[in-house]
Amino acid sequence: MSFSVFAVPIIVALIFGWGLYKKVNILDAFIEGARENLKTAVGLLPTLTLLMLGVGMFRSSGALDAITRLLSPITDALGFPSECLPLTLLRPVSGSGALAILKNILAENGPDSFAGRVASVLMGSTETTFYTIAVYFAATKVKKSRHALPSALAGDITAFLLSSLAVRIFLGFTVR
Partner 1 sequence: MIGYLLSFIILGSVVYSVFAGTPAEISNAVISSGADAVSLVLTLAGSMAVWGGIMKIAERSGITDGLTKILRPFLKLIFRGLKKDSEALRAIAMNVSANLMGLGNAATPLGIEAMRALEREENPGEVATLNMIKLAVMNACSAEIIPATVAALRAEAGSSAPLEILPCVLLVSFASLAVALTVAEVLNIGRKNEL
Q: Which of residues 138-167 bind partner 1 (CB under 8 A)?
A: 139-148, 150-152, 154-156, 158-159, 162-163, 166-167
Residue type, 56: G
Q: By CB under 8 A, is residue 133 in contact with partner 1?
A: yes
Q: By CB under 8 A, is residue 51 in contact with partner 1?
A: yes
Helix (H), strand (E) at residue 124: helix 114-124
Q: By CB under 8 A, is residue 76 in contact with partner 1?
A: no
Q: By CB under 8 A, is residue 111 in contact with partner 1?
A: yes
The minimum distance between CB 167 and partner 1, in angstroms, equals: 6
Q: Provide the terminal-to-terminal Cα distance of the chain, rounded to the nearest Å.
A: 18
The minimum distance between CB 76 and partner 1, in angstroms, equals: 20
Residue 120 and residue 113: Cα distance in Å, rounded? 11
Residue 91 and residue 128: Cα distance in Å, rounded? 6
Closest to 52 (Cα-Cα) out of 102, 122, 13: 102
Whose Cβ is closer to partner 1: residue 17's or residue 76's? 17
